[in-house]
Amino acid sequence: MSGPRRAAVLGSPITHSLSPVLHRAAYEELGLREWTYDRFDVTEADLEHFLGGLGTGWAGLSITMPLKRAIIPLLDSVSPAAASVDTVNTVLPAGPGRWRGDNTDIPGLVAALRERGVTRVPGASVLGAGATASSALAALARMRVPEVTVYVRGPERAAQMRGWGERLGVPVRTAPWEEAADGLRAPLVISTTPAGATDALAHHVPAAGRPLGTLFDVVYDPWPTPLGSAWAARDGALLGGLDLLVHQAVLQVEAMTGRSPAPLAAMRKAGEAALAPRTAPVSRPVGGREPEPRSGHDRIGTDPRTGVRGAGRDGRGERGQDPRNGENREHEEHR
């Protein structure tokens, strides 16, 4: 793709999204200095108007909450991955005035685990039952995990997650949230809950001397979470929300620019630098990787076409969280 192109992340709230930091770092590394990546505060009520006002020159959009499912009826097509979980986090042009939805969270989660050597596990636990949890189930289905236990609050959520398991072809057993400490014994634990929801579980991490599996906690701010700190202190393998965020963004950059591979290392450095002021030290390097800080700043403005407020780089996370009930308004993504 030649010439200047535009991309952006849409959602609400969006001010602290890390996506501009990651995508701009990729453009710089790829020599795409005329490309721009912004962010726009777009609600469900604004979404149709915003999409209808997009002109030519757009390479794609990153989608976060509350739009990941709301956008689907406005698209001309969706990928099998997005259709499998009724969730879109990526929108790509499919011809003049036409848009196609995709989901890079699912392969991004698989890629993040693969990077840390986690490719096959005999079982897994998923904490939470929001949209991130359904993407986690889809990722576990791709990894052919034979058994998954999902810890949820309430029978309605439990029924939903069993339904997702049937749809995705992964055996799912549900258990009440009050039993979530039991799930920490699984070879792989994926926490899809918002910040604060798993803090009490930190006291239930198996004692030293008992082998721990891998914890993938999708929170990235604050980091590490109390559960993540306790896990690392007992020499458990630990992945965080930045791992997922970077890997799904890598796939977005490749799809939007047509350039592969995207610069994973540069994107990770930029994300680590943006989060560094809010990141507490852990007892050991997370995943065996020492952070390599870089800097980044941002701006906030208004789209003159739509009057929709947009923002630029200096960001945290765009996922709304409800720590009161251990579930996600949408943690995911993721961005």
Q: Cα(104)–Cα(293) distance, rounded to whole angstroms?
A: 26
The C-alpha torsion from 295 through 108 and 329 to 130, rounded to 10°, is -160
Q: What is the DSSP string of 279-299?
A: BPP-SS-GGG-----------
Task: List the 309-311 sheet strands across, edge first.
Answer: 77-78, 99-102, 90-93, 58-63, 6-11, 36-41, 309-311, 300-302
Q: Cα(320)–Cα(335) distance, rounded to whole angstroms?
A: 10
Task: Count other C-beta atoms under 10 Å from residue 317's C-beta.
Answer: 26
269 in active site = no
Report yes or no: 105 and 73 within 8 Å, Cβ to Cβ: no
* Nearest CA-CA partner of 332 in 193, 140, 176, 185: 193
Q: Cα(128)–Cα(123) distance, rounded to whole angstroms?
A: 17
Residue type, 245: L
Contacts of residue 307, defined as CB under 8 A and 6 or more positions apart, other chains included, come to none
**Catalytic residue (one of 5, 23, 24, 68):** 68
In the block, residue with structure tokens 């792989």? 188
Q: Which amino acids are annotated catalytic?
A: 68
